[in-house]
Amino acid sequence: MSFSENLNKLMKDSETSNVALGKAIGVSDMAVLRWRKGEASPSLDSAINISKYYEISLDQLCSDNISVERSRFTLMQILGSLHGDLVEYNLPNGERAFISSKQLDNYPKEECYVIKRDRDLFVIHQQSQCENGDIIVYMETDFVSEYGIPVSVYRMRRFVRTDDYIELKALTESDKKVVFRKQEINRLHIVGVVISR
């Protein structure tokens, strides 16, 4: 597949508009449109920014075997921090979402973020501590593209601690559970805990 076909698949799967992607990576929506039509190719910097936006490696972005399904379940777009009693968010597909910050009375609003995973919105509190049963967002940094660029992937799982290991349980059938043994626990980087959905 060509780059333009891959980009079109990613944007369709995540319901990202030309304007939203352009704004996120610092280019015009017309530049994105030209890439999608195959009339132009992005610079290396723009390609890197696209791969970061979709939480895939640069080699996957340019691959003939792009895993659209994988990107669907790893895309965690931070849409913005909360302000006031009711917040309006413009989503990448042009829809609007309203979230009440009254749900967050026990949390400093500047530490709370709205993320989008597939079609669902979640509010997370930025913290590294969690309790058994919490739904967490954690970051994996083990992915490196063929160009040597590290790529961070955000995932969402249910946190379960036992005496011998930590298990991150799958939330959907497409997710895989992850187990961290005692000697591996320092590799678990928790970004935040879901406090509202």
Q: Does residue 144 register a pLDDT over 50?
A: yes
CATH 2.10.109.10 assigned to domain 76-197? The reply is: yes
Architecture of the domain delimited by 3-72: Orthogonal Bundle (1.10)
Q: What is the pTM of this model?
A: 0.54
Minimum mean pLDDT among 21-25, 56-60, 76-80, 175-179: which range?
A: 76-80
Question: Comparing 98 with 166, which gets the higher pLDDT?
Answer: 166
Rounded to an integer, what distance in angstroms lies between the CA atom of residue 52 and that of residue 26? 13
Determine the pLDDT at residue 37. Answer: 92
Q: What stretch(es) of the chain map to CATH 2.10.109.10?
A: 76-197
What value does the mean pLDDT take over residues 46-54? 82
Q: What stretch(es) of the chain map to CATH 1.10.260.40?
A: 3-72
Asked whether the CA dihedral 113, 168, 175, 148 is positive or negative, the reply is positive
CA 116 vs CA 137, 142, 156, 157: distances in Å: 12, 23, 11, 14
